[in-house]
Structure 1
Amino acid sequence: MNAHVRACMNAHVRACSVLAGYNGTIFAYGQTGSGKTFTISGGAERYSDRGIIPRTISYLFERFSQDSSMVYTTHISYLEIYNEMGYDLLDSRHEASRLEDLPKVLIMEDPDQKIHLRNLSLQQSANEEEALNLLFLGDTNRMIAETPMNQASTRSHCIFTVHVCSREPGSATLRRSKLHLVDLAGSDRVSKTGLNGQLLTEAKYINLSLHYLEQVIIALSEKNRSHIPYRNSMLTSVLRDSLRGNCMTTMIATIAVDKRNLDVRPCSDRLFW
């Protein structure tokens, strides 16, 4: 069983948790060109190459159709975070030729410290086809550029979120949960890639936000930690209610197997990695 299929099977476990009412997050982390987008979104050539997002959508709607004891409602949102600015990838009122043409998403916090994303649209999906169409729409609006490490590098963090609302027939009690499926931007060592200009600016924002994500994860693992630095970045603020407590979180680490990515140090007549 290859790593791609194992990752997708793990996603099914998180999807089951969402059906049970738990928030969750699945994110792919790794350097540019290591396969994060392929893992999360999949490839277009073969059906077997579909990624975690389309597989999760398919699985959820299959479960909805099999469960007659609950009434399910599903909404989709797709957020892109580029240079610490949020953009709504699913706004149907805009035909964007540039990322800057999309509505900017702002973070708002209420008195109960709950996060609200202003200008981020929630699109209802009645079936698998509608949800996949939204995924396709969002992917066409993503920020992509060529770098020394990847000809089609995603230069931003993208958070595809499935919002699930369920209730028993005839009941007014609602149970809400959501699953964030996150394609993180690639982490690159600037000194090795030789980036400059706009690509260098992008890399600085990317590496800084990934550093803040690391800080949050470390803080969550420490017992009796009173402060978790969610507010340091937009990424960690958005994922705030789906990382801590009894939420279900999975990190998929992708690795590019290439000699260029190894630190080689000569010692005598041998090489050590």
Structure 2
Amino acid sequence: MVKQTIQIFARVKPTVRKHQQGIYSIDEDEKLIPTLEIIVPRDLADGFVNNKRESYKFKFQRIFDQAAKQEAIFESIAKPVAESALAGYNGTIFAYGQTGSGKTFTITGGAERYTDRGIIPRTLSYIFEQLQKDSSKIYTTHISYLEIYNECGYDLLDPRHEASSLEDLPKVTILEDTDQNIHLKNLSLHQATTEEEALNLLFLGDTNRMIAETPMNQASTRSHCIFTIHLSSKEPGSATVRHAKLHLVDLAGSERVAKTGVGGQLLTEAKYINLSLHYLEQVIVALSEKHRSHIPYRNSMMTSVLRDSLGGNCMTTMIATISLEKRNVDESISTCRFAQRVALIKNEAVLNEEIDPRLVITRLQKEIQELKDELAIVTGEQRTEGLTEAELIQLEKLITSFLEDQDPESRLEVGADMRKIHHCFHHLKKLLNDKKILGKSSVSSEIKDQDQDQGCQYPSKEEEYKKLQDILKQRDNEISILSK
């Protein structure tokens, strides 16, 4: 078991214009804990005197400035989580931040240059590279891609996605078993034997994602997407199997509706996005509070799916993507505050091992056959499944002669074959039961015969009646004589 808090990292998005001095600063020397300081410019106060803070400080495991490369992000954030997944621990990496702060670029990557690949394609490359190196185990890899759009789940790898509208597709629903484990109905699992197959599944899912242009972002993702790598491994000949799930989550961006000025369908999407992020924040707050008995996981689909990732059996990492332009300072401060609350949550990651029953059955069958072969060598005869008819008749004759033998020292010799011994006991039991039934019937017949014999000695009813009549007459005569 590995107990640790959720790891939090910050990434600052490069600004379109030249770097504005004074908006933020990064201090990595203060007690070896990197600190991000966000400075609120004076002009945001619009000339009014107020008590608004001018400086905010937040601590992270590491802060990546505007010049940080995708490779450095993967090496520091995703690689340790991928290594733990290969070892059999569940892992989650999720990006959180406002619209246009670089979440999708960090998780999935850009399409212009090969070096712009994000965490998901780099993680797939790393995992399959390690699988090829490790020949001591047998690995199986499956991919699933879930989209949560307007609080409804959809399978991004469903082949009907291109031909059908979103409303016609089957919705992914959540099922919960007695152990409170979450199962997703209508979410397909696709086996990937090579890196190329896994990347094709990623590209297929990205093609089907809900993307729209908003005033905040030209290609804004309008849904939460969870790309999951399912890993299974076992050593040859061993019945122990290790399972691990690695969730790579790209959350939709939080945005202020008044600030973006959207309406219609975009407004509906923004409401659902903000509501689900609000429920995520509720779960984070509940987990960070001590002695809190109820955690509201069921409030939204996203928190239900990520239940293990938040306060459960998982090694979780969060990337806070921050856009530190003047107009986005308030949202950036909110993102950093959310990250500080996430850092208080403790997870207990457990090695996911189980015994494969099919392998156990195969192993036991092989062991039984080997024991039968050894027994055949010792006894000189091949063991069959059951006793033959001739063997059964011979055994019953032995039992009969044993029972009829008056010698108290006599023995029933049937050998060391347990099948013959069991049959002898069953036959003796049958004989005993038959004797009991016969004994009961003979006793009842004896009682009946006795009753009949006794019935012959008793006088009949007519004789008894005549005798009583004679006594009555005699008494009447005696009375009449006495009265005279």
TM-score (norm 2): 0.52
Could you tell me which residue of structure 2 aligns to residue 2 of structure 1? 68
Contact 1:94 1:101 in 2 (8 A): no
Runs (5+) with no aligned partner, structure 1: 264-273
Distance 2:198 2:160 in 1: 18
- Partner residue, 1:113: 180
**Larger proportion of strand:** 1
Partner of 1:184: 251
1:215-239: CA deviation from partner (whole Å, max 9, x where unpaired): 2222223334322211010001011
Give the letter aligned to residue 196 of structure 2: E
Structure having the higher Rg: 2
Which segments of 5 or more consecutive residues in structure 2 lack a partner in the other structure? 1-66, 331-484
- Tell me the SS of whatever aligns to 1:187: coil
Find the partner of 1:195 among 262, 282, 290. 262
Query: Per the alignment, do residues 33 and 65 of structure 1 end up closer, same or farther by CA in structure 2, a change over 3 Å counting?
Result: same
**Pairing 1:154-233 to 2, within 5 Å after superposition:** 154-233=221-300
Pairing partner for 2:85 from 15, 18, 21 = 18
Residues 14-64 of structure 1: per-residue CA shift (max 9 Å, x gap): 101111211111111111111111000001111111000000000111111
CA distance in 2, matches of 1:231, 1:193: 29
Partner residue, 1:271: none
User: 1:8 offset after TM fit, Å?
Assistant: 1.4
Q: Which amino acid aligns with 1:169?
A: P
114, 125, 138: which one aligns with 1:47:
114
Shift of 1:94: 4.7
Rounded Cα–Cα distance in structure 2 between residues aligned with 1:186 and 1:58:
27
CA distance in 1, matches of 2:79, 2:143: 18
Deviation at 1:96, TM superposition (A): 3.7
Corresponding letter in the other structure for 1:42:
G
Preserved CA contact (<8 Å) 1:96 1:141 = no
In structure 1, the partner of 2:203 is 136
Corresponding position of 1:147? 214
Following superposition, the deviation at residue 247 of structure 1 comes to 1.3
User: Structure 1 residues 148 and 93, CA, compared in 2 at 3 Å: closer, same or farther?
Assistant: closer
- The structure in which a higher percent of residues are helix is 2
The counterpart of 2:314, out of the listed 243, 247, 253, is 247
Verify the 8 A CA contact 1:25 1:243 in the aligned structure 2. no
- Aligned counterpart, 1:67: 134
Kept in 1: contact 2:252–2:273 (CA 8 A): yes
CA distance in 1, matches of 2:109, 2:228: 16
30-39 or 235-244, which deviates more: 235-244
| Amino acid across the alignment from 2:73 | A
Q: Alpha-carbon deviations, 1:137-195, whole Å to 9, x = none?
A: 00000001111101111000000000011111122221111011011001001121112
- Alpha-carbon separation, structure 2, partners of 1:237 and 1:3: 33
Distance of 2:208 and 2:262 partners within structure 1: 24
The alignment partner of 2:188 has SS state of coil
Aligned-residue CA RMSD (Å): 1.6
CA contact (8 A) 1:42 1:51 kept: yes
Secondary structure of the residue that 1:242 maps to in structure 2? Answer: coil
Q: Which amino acid aligns with 2:134?
A: D
The Cα offsets for residues 52-97 of structure 1, whole Å up to 9 and x where unpaired, read as 0000000111111111221110000000000000000001355345
CA drift at 1:243? 2.6
3-state SS in 1 of match to 2:237: coil
Contact kept, 8 Å, 1:99 with 1:143, in 2: the verdict is no
Does residue 1:238 correspond to 2:305, yes or no? yes
Letter in 2 for 1:16: E
Residues 161, 181 of structure 1: 8 Å contact kept: yes
Is 1:87 the counterpart of 2:154? The answer is yes
What residue identity is the alignment partner of 1:57?
L
Letter in 1 for 2:268: T
- CA distance in structure 2 between the partners assigned to 1:108 and 1:17 by the alignment: 27
TM-score (norm 1): 0.91
Give distance in 2, aligned partners of 1:177 and 1:42: 24
Whole-angstrom CA distance in 2 between matches of 1:3 and 1:133: 24
Cα deviation 1:125-146 (Å, max 9, x = unaligned): 0010000000000000000111
What CA distance in whole angstroms lies between the structure 1 residues aligned with 2:160 and 2:99? 32
